[in-house]
């Protein structure tokens, strides 16, 4: 469609429709924030915000659950560690695939593509057995080590590193840079936008993952936020305000990170799809 073919009325109607739809989409989020600020008496008296703001839900969350004391820190630790390991593995492997010729490169690429088509749940039973044998069940290593592999991340980095001109790398070699120095001092700094996108996508993946941590973690002290919340709805399913406070605390770190890395995120998300 073109500006000339759409009437003023059509434009106003479209604009209004989009605003109404956006408001509908945002409503549950506003409700979520409102629910955390209402005391138990006001919870159902007011659909959104009550005239008096209460911090009771957060106080309850602190006293009745470990969300603020343990689970938040657990999730932060686990997600950052996984992101760092994934970033290192994926960028290094992506660099190798983008800028070197080596034996088995084609085979490896095909193998990686094939595993992208396979749902992760297929390997859960044998992986559990393997980790059990290695003594890694009920430990963070049981989440971090299998999580270190990100085929998606490798393709992301391969794509972006391929756009770095070979002359640049060759010049560095002539200046006496080792191959690892080239990776560290040239490839990584140039790939900064992709690193931002990857970190956010990978962080969100680990932060929100539920099924595998549910299988691996048994010790309460190790629980991440999604697992802690699933326990909470079992016990406190009537305490809506507190549940919502736990939910809001759980999504806040991702939202903050998103606003920091917003631009890179959209670019990274669509890079694979648009370039094919």
Partner 1 sequence: MKKPASDNSRPSRSFRRQHKLAPYLFISPFLLTFLVFGCYPILQSLWLSLYATNGPKSHVFVGLSNYQFLIGDADFRTAVWNTLVYAFWSVFLQLPLALGLAMLLSQKWIKARGLLRMAFFSPNLMGQAFVAVLFGILYVPQYGLVNRAVHPLLPKLIPLDTKWLQNPNLVMPAIVLASLWMYVGFNMIYFLAALQSVDQELYEAARVDGANAWHQFRAVTVPGIKPVAVFVLVTATIGSFQLYELPYLMLNNSAGPKNSGLTIVMYLYQHGFVTGDLGLASAIGWSLALGVLVLSLFQLRMTGAYKGEAS
Nearest CB to partner 1, comparing residues 81 and 214: 214
| Part of the chain binding partner 1 (CB under 8 A), chosen from 56-64, 65-73, 190-198, 207-215 | 207-215
Residue from 68, 76, 130, 186 touching partner 1 (CB under 8 A): that is 130
Least distance to partner 1 from the beta carbon of 192, Å? Answer: 19
The reply to whether 245 sits near partner 1 by the rule CB under 8 A is no
Query: Least separation, in Å, of the C-beta of 16 and partner 1?
Result: 11
Residue 132: half-sphere exposure toward Cβ, Cα within 13 Å: 8
Q: Is 130 exposed, middle or buried (0-12, 13-18, 19+ CB in 10 A)?
A: middle
- Interface map 71-100 toward partner 1 (x if CB under 8 A): -----------------xxx-xx-xxx--x
Structure tokens at 120: 């992760």
**What's the Cα-to-Cα distance from 244 to each of 8, 80, 93, 131, 214, rounded to whole Å?**
43, 24, 41, 34, 21
Q: Does 207 bind partner 1 (CB under 8 A)?
A: yes
107 binds partner 1 (CB under 8 A): no
Residues in region 153-182 near partner 1 by CB under 8 A: 154, 173, 178-180
The residue behind tokens 């073919």 is 5
Q: Nearest 10 degrees: CA dihedral of 133, 135, 137, 138?
A: 160
Chosen residue from 119, 165, 167, 189 binding partner 1 by CB under 8 A: 119
If binding is defined by CB under 8 A, does position 3 make contact with partner 1?
A: yes
> What minimum distance in Å lies between the beta carbon of 212 and partner 1?
10
Identity of the residue, 162 or 269, whose beta carbon is nearer to partner 1 in the bound complex: 269
| Range in contact with partner 1 (rule: CB under 8 A) among 50-58, 59-67, 147-155, 189-197 | 147-155
Within 10 angstroms of residue 242's Cβ, the number of other Cβ atoms is 25
> What is the rounded distance in angstroms from the CA atom of residue 76 to the CA atom of residue 74?
5
Among 77, 168, 210, 260, binds partner 1 (CB under 8 A): 210
Part of the chain binding partner 1 (CB under 8 A), chosen from 55-63, 66-74, 107-115, 189-197: 107-115
Angle, nearest 10°, between helix axes 72-99 and 240-275?
0
Is the Cβ–Cβ distance between 210 and 226 less than 8 Å? yes
Burial class (CB in 10 A: 0-12, 13-18, 19+), 144: middle
């Amino acid at each position: 469609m073109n500006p000339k073919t759409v009437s003023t009325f059509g434009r106003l109607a479209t604009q209004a429709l989009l605003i109404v739809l956006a408001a509908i989409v945002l409503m549950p989020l506003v409700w979520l924030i409102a629910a955390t600020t209402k005391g138990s008496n006001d919870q159902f008296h007011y659909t959104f915000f009550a005239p008096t703001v209460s911090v009771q839900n957060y106080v309850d969350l602190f006293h009745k659950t470990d969300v603020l004391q343990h689970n938040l820190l657990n999730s932060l630790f686990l997600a950052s560690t996984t992101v760092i390991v994934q970033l290192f593995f994926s960028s290094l492997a992506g660099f190798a695939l983008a800028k070197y010729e080596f034996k088995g490169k084609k085979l490896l690429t095909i193998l990686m593509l094939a595993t992208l088509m396979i749902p992760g749940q297929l390997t859960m039973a044998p992986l559990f057995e393997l980790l059990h044998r290695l003594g890694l069940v009920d430990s963070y290593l049981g989440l971090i080590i299998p999580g270190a592999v990100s085929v998606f991340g490798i393709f992301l980095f391969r794509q972006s590193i391929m756009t770095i001109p070979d002359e640049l790398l060759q010049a560095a070699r002539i200046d006496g840079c080792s191959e690892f120095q080239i990776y560290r001092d040239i490839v990584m700094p140039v790939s900064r936008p992709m690193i931002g996108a990857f970190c956010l996508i990978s962080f969100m993946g680990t932060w929100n993952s539920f099924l595998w941590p549910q299988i691996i973690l048994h010790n309460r002290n190790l629980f991440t936020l999604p697992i802690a919340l699933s326990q909470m709805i079992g016990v406190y399913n009537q305490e809506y305000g507190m549940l919502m406070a736990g939910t809001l605390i759980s999504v806040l770190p991702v939202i903050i990170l998103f606003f920091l890395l917003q631009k890179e995120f959209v670019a990274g998300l669509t890079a694979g799809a648009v370039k094919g």
